[in-house]
Homo-oligomer: A and B are copies of this chain.
């Protein structure tokens, strides 16, 4: 199989984790006789420094020519004081919009060998296995107006939570597809229907879509309650679907359940078939350039890509198995070493390659 993969390392540890992921992908290609072509693009702070734009035209072009995209991370204190259009995050938000990456999938699973690193007690975490499906191109993130105004004669500011019904429908449909075909057939739709009109439409649409999936059970949960339930009994969840801002908050909260933020992968799926894969963690400027970041989240994101974008199930499984084996052998990067001797970013990737 011949595939083009766009690589957007971005900022901070983004570069390091993408670099070693490429090595793992090259090994997979050799082993399974595929040809992967890698094209690098600039995004985030790096792109601001080199091109004066967090998402240069060239980067968009590189992505559009590719069959899939791997992103590292964007952001860092260096650009925090920049005006909005010159901030790294704008690059990521603009890319999501430009490529219509509307469905962000974040699987939350435990690794048996890492259960002890969770802040939660083992019996709460043991066997947790759910996925958050977050809407990624609508809501408060993109609604207009988003500006300073005069209101009742006073200085004020407004942001806008806007959804087309069709945008709500397609993300809920994605969640039902996943629940029905790939998981345990239970959906928790999270909203704030006792306060927001958008949530009431969300709930209506969820009910409508549910009629087409009689084998899937649908439950509604208020977002404040969901924030509690994620801690109180995370095992109850199979598929969570929610709007952009709620999804941002809840998925970061959920990443703490397993205590292995450095292990969690994500996929952002588009309507066009060109999808993006990235680790859940950020650019971690404090540890950037030290060869100590955990590359597993990015390596597992690459596995998601092989499965979801290229249909290479066997190859995806091979990576996942290699990661499991290396963890079981006791190798850990600094984030998980708990004071024991830690492997470097490169060593970790090297061991995964060898285990392949």
Contacts and interface: CB of A to CB of B under 8 A. Distances in A.
A160 B157 contact: no
Given A232-B256, A248-B224, A253-B227, A198 B120 contact: no
Interface in A260-313: 261
A194 B228 contact: no
A45 B283 CA distance: 48
Given A154-B165, A158-B143, A165-B156, A253 B232 contact: no
B256 A158 contact: no
A249 B231 contact: no
A84 B197 CA distance: 9
B161 A197 contact: no
Given A151-B162, A152-B164, A162-B151, A197 B228 contact: no
A251 B225 CA distance: 10
Given A120-B121, A124-B119, A159 B198 contact: yes
Chain A interface size, as a band, is: 35 or more
A141 interface: yes
Contacts of A256: 228, 231-232
Contacts of A161: 140, 158-161
Given A151-B162, A161-B161, A228 B201 contact: no
A42 interface: no
A148 B224 CA distance: 24
A119 B200 CA distance: 32
Interface string A133-172: 0000000110100111001101111111111111000000
Given A154-B166, A158-B160, A250 B227 contact: yes
A89 interface: yes
A191 to B, nearest CB: 11
A164 B200 CA distance: 26
Contacts of A194: 75, 87, 89
Nearest to A220: B80
B196 A159 contact: yes
B159 A197 contact: yes
Contacts of A93: 195
Contact of A156 (B164, B252, B261): B164
A91 to B, nearest CB: 11
B255 A228 contact: yes
A76 to B, nearest CB: 12
Interface in A235-263: 245-246, 248-253, 255-257, 261
A225 to B, nearest CB: 7
A286 to B, nearest CB: 13
B157 A163 contact: yes
Interface centre among A155, A162, A166, A249, by most chain B C-beta atoms within 10 angstroms, is A249
A317 interface: no
Nearest to A165: B155
A138 to B, nearest CB: 10
A223 interface: yes
Contacts of A246: 249
Given A155-B166, A157-B162, 5 more contacts: A120-B121, A147-B197, A151-B164, A159-B198, A227-B227
